[in-house]
A and B are shown apart, each in its own frame.
Chain A
């Protein structure tokens, strides 16, 4: 069996939501068994991002003021947005925008590993979807850095995966959201 076939995500945890006026923010915390320097590289380097992130970058996100094109992976129509890195303090804080989502990453050294926190704003009805998607991305990231990669799982590919649907339902329940509106064909095909 490949690492990917063996993979089953753990239970939904480490996610919070915050509401500020009409703006919802999803806050995700994950402890990784890897140093902040290693995690920083995975968050900023295009070759690393390609292995785990829900977007591709055409340049490094590691320098303030750089303009980078982000391509959403697996979107049902091409979706490219331009971002400017507004904060990059290696290996601690990284800020940029992904379309109309503000992305703030914080890395704290924790033993030999890293406590990684992501703040991202998100439409209310997509909060559980986002939490489930990032949960799997962080699993993929952790395994990538451990040298046992399972391959990126985003977009329709993630949705078709049974673990995503379970996580989606669990996060929706945790956040007290109504029954999540399942994505279309992809979910029905599995």
Chain B
């Protein structure tokens, strides 16, 4: 299919959909900024060991946001990066957050230490809340994964999954779909086999669509101007389909609309959570992927609109 490429300055010619936030269910933290020990060639915010455009967040910086979130009745917390466990305060931040509510952390699984997992596991035995680990692996073996995430990363991440299982966690393995959707079942079975080799016998897989921003633009190209969310599209999915209807993310620069648009100038909505609870216009190509798949950021399984 060939699309007409429009001048970006003609954005105003489009009627964009706008999403109001109903309630702040989920608060995210960009806890390690854009710093990562890996340089994956599809990363939507181009994280790497050298990308410090967003820096680490300290527990002292995060604490006021936990308090603000408490006042707003937040349901759960998520932490992402970069690689969150490069942040030396990560375990302390998680332990403190679990005093407020359940948490999920997105990690590449390659730097996990026994002592950290022991502390977190001990905490969880004393509270009702859960801590979910989402481990990113993008292929079911070294050959398929390492070409995207870097040499040796499959073995290291798989070892991380095994370590999590050993400490009583049941990680969600997050996989970016680099295959045709009709091959899902075959690929999923291969992942399950790989996970079983490290004792992960109740596999949880979250398959993600590629986001055509950040490093992925160099790899596969960006969004076409037509890939935007128009108001009529909301009739079939509803506002709750979009992460911005129930979530916000805090970085060292303030409160942003969602984890995906972190680097977009219009994503910063204020310094305080209360300032950020304003409608957001879906002007970005990535919003179209959110429309197509939904639940991109949450722990739920995403499913393309075409297959529903």
Binding partners A and B: no
- Name B's A-contacting residues (CB within 8 A): none
- Name A's B-contacting residues (CB within 8 A): none
